[in-house]
Amino acid sequence: MAVLVDRAVSLYQEFSRLPSVTSGSIYCSIGSCSAQGRKSYTVTSCWSQRDLQKMENVQSLRQHQVITDNHGTPVEASCVGFPTERKGELLRRCSPSGKLVAIIRKITNKKGDEKQYIEVWNCQKMLMTIDVAAADEHGKIYEDEQFGCIEWSTSEKKLLYVAEKKQPKTSSYFESKSTCKEDGEDVKEKGNEFVYREDWGEQLVSKHMPSLCVLDIDSASIAPLEGVPDDISPGQALWAPNDEDVIFVGWKNSSFRLGLRFCPMRSCDLYLLRIKDRTFDVLSEPEHAVSNPRFNWDMSKLVYLRNKTGGPHMQCSQLLMYDWKTKETKVVVEIQDRPGKTEFPGLYLVSLPRKCWSSDNKRIYTHSAWRSCREIIEINVETQTVKKITSFGSDGDEWMKFGAWSVLDVKDDLVLAVCGSPNIPHRLVIGKIGSGNDAILWKYLDENHVEFSNFQFEIKAYSPKTPDNFEFEAILLTPKGNTEQSKPPLIAFPHGGPHSVFVADYMLYPAVFCHLGFAVLMINYRGSIGFGNEFIMSLLGNVGCNDVQDCKQAIDQTIADGVADGNKVVLQGGSHGGFLVCHLIGQFPNAFKACVARNPVTNMASKLGATDIPDWNYTESGLGDYYHSRLPSAEVYGTMFQKSPLSHVDKVKTPTMIMIGTADKRVPPQQGYEFARALQARGIKTRVLSYQDDNHSLAKTNVEADAFINMFKWFIDHL
């Protein structure tokens, strides 16, 4: 046993050193054109890598030099220097000319206090540093994907960002010192020390009241923008074409707030704020949810994503375009309800690339889930057509082996992208946009790469045993060299959400498990995104049934195909995936040797009043729309309980380990404890790991590492 665990630790350490791309940008190098028409570009990419000695994620910056021929096609690429650690960087943005860069940096001082600084650099030196706390114009700057932004004006004289609104100072009624200040300084508000301030939920716990702020580069002064209504939380801001006004997405501060993370269907609008006269216009239609406004290169057209409000948290999105001159809006990409197997399944993405337009202002390049892959797509805004521009060619094509593509940046019709597969960690590529039906000609930026040859993957399709005729899929990873006499044990792994998807990308856990001799089945059951909007909606009211049946069918078929040992099947899943594995051990008590559930939903009834997304319970249970004043009846509680894993707990026989993040606001920690106690009371072997101060994702470096080894040991203990 100790030898096996030591090998797992060693492999995890080795694989954790493999970095992944987090962002990238293309810049035209100064004096880049040659007499032969060749052009030079600088590609900057940000990478994340686990450091198990420091137990933290290390962020690094890499640069490549790319040379194009006289047709603009990349012909040479070389790495410039060594990776540079981005210590404390929260946000980074180069100016339009590429001559300046703004950085939001976090520093922890000797007292353990975190401080933020705004830095502005040119290619030779730091031009300014501003201590955010000392400026005392606002609270901490937002770095998250929901609200955060850092945008240069076209003139490069102003910097736009989002920060926590400045709050009045407070004091106790019994404070002995005078609260009055001289020279017009703030007066403390007595008795407000412990007033509860609502935040925006899971992974946004420090975000209470965002505000738009502008740094004037010449005067080095900060000014929060006025004119945004008090009942609106602004974010995702950018400069309007006149370089004076600001466009932003605004979420309505309802009577109480629901979680925003991974919920792009929350009611919000697109606003234009006129800075000088402090007035605003609403650019989008009411009763919708919008996000990710992106201007084309001449700033004549603005595209953004739109969803219906309410319903499942991840849905098929529309792409809309607002004409800045005519003030007209049109739908460019519609919702795809039930596409054919090879047809475009619709847009499913949290964010558009910041720069996504072709130089002719006619095409947009982005990525989206496409069944069990993630593909780069080209959207023609004039013809309103969509086509896939990855995974093309014959089976022998070099690029066919990549199952997941993401666009990082677009400039001068060059597309910077990252691609990967379950057995190929991230690779950075650049390509020239073709004309007509021409495929993009990709070029690797680094020739040296890792490709694992000791395991393989394939995408399997299944027809469910119900009359709805939806075909679902799973990604199967199998170690090579297995024989009929030595079939590997199988880890069944349903995703969370439930409206999410596994794409054929590199993932640390499955890769290490395959090296340890396991087969891994990642299941995209009915309700997953990337298969059409009706596929998503089919799960509503059927959780605990259709999704569970799909998981069991995929497992049974894998065993029937002779790929894995049917007597050595274990389960792991988190969130709704945890909900499913807890259901599976209750509904099929003799089928599984061990189970690991990470922050699982176990009792929808008791979760309702403690989660940041109570609407999820109503929607997934098929109980209609949620509204803030809705109170559950006994019948509602009963329906939710009957659809929960806890309703099957009396049948469970499988040894179960539950992993809990104590700071989880999405699935309250009590969900895991409640299920564990029910198992323990029935004599089922149970283990609970409680990770202090980690949230729903359980993604802290030390937590992620500990969870993997404990999971591996739990499996081999019971196999």
Residues that are catalytic: 575, 664, 696
The distance from CA 28 to its chain's CA centroid, rounded to whole angstroms, is: 29
Sign of CA dihedral 618, 620, 622, 627: positive
Residue type, 604: M
**What is the spatial distance between Cα 148 and Cα 237, in angstroms, rounded to a whole number?**
8
Residue 304 · residue 294 · CB < 8 Å: yes
**What is the spatial distance between Cα 581 and Cα 249, in angstroms, rounded to a whole number?**
38
Q: Which residue has the tokens 């999405």?
A: 666
DSSP 141: B
**What is the spatial distance between Cα 686 and Cα 677, in angstroms, rounded to a whole number?**
9
Which residues, including other chains, have CB under 8 Å from residue 49's CB and lie 6 or more apart? 16, 17, 18, 19, 20, 57, 58, 60
The distance from CA 352 to its chain's CA centroid, rounded to whole angstroms, is: 12
Residue type, 47: W
Residue 60 · residue 49 · CB < 8 Å: yes
Residue 100 · residue 121 · CB < 8 Å: yes
Residue 640, SS3? helix
β-pairing verdict for 385-388 and 404-411: unpaired
Which residues, including other chains, have CB under 8 Å from residue 699's CB and lie 6 or more apart? none
Q: In the structure, how many helices (H) and strands (E) does the chain have?
A: 11, 38
DSSP 645: G
Sign of CA dihedral 312, 314, 318, 322: positive
**What is the spatial distance between Cα 542 and Cα 547, in angstroms, rounded to a whole number?**
8
Which residues, including other chains, have CB under 8 Å from residue 257's CB and lie 6 or more apart? 198, 199, 200, 201, 612
Task: Give the residues across from 416 on adjacent strands.
Answer: 409, 430
CA angle 530, 531, 534 (to 5 degrees): 120
**What is the spatial distance between Cα 205 and Cα 554, in angstroms, rounded to a whole number?**
38
Task: Give the residues across from 377 on adjacent strands.
Answer: 366, 388
**What is the spatial distance between Cα 299 and Cα 191, in angstroms, rounded to a whole number?**
49
**What is the spatial distance between Cα 679 and Cα 597, in angstroms, rounded to a whole number?**
13
Residue 397, SS3? coil
**What is the spatial distance between Cα 498 and Cα 580, in angstroms, rounded to a whole number?**
10
Residue 338, SS3? coil
| H/E element, 114 | strand 114-121
Q: In Å, what is the CA distance from 590 to each residue of 566, 623, 653?
A: 11, 32, 7
β-pairing verdict for 569-574 and 594-598: parallel
β-pairing verdict for 189-190 and 210-216: unpaired
Q: Per-residue b/e over 245-275, b at no fewer than 16 CB within 10 Å?
A: bbbbbbbebeeebbbbbbbbbbbbbbbebeb
Residue type, 120: V
Nearest CA to 86 among 108, 69, 62, 65?
Answer: 62
Residue 517 burial (CB < 10 Å; 0-12/13-18/19+)? middle
Rg value, the chain, Cα? 26
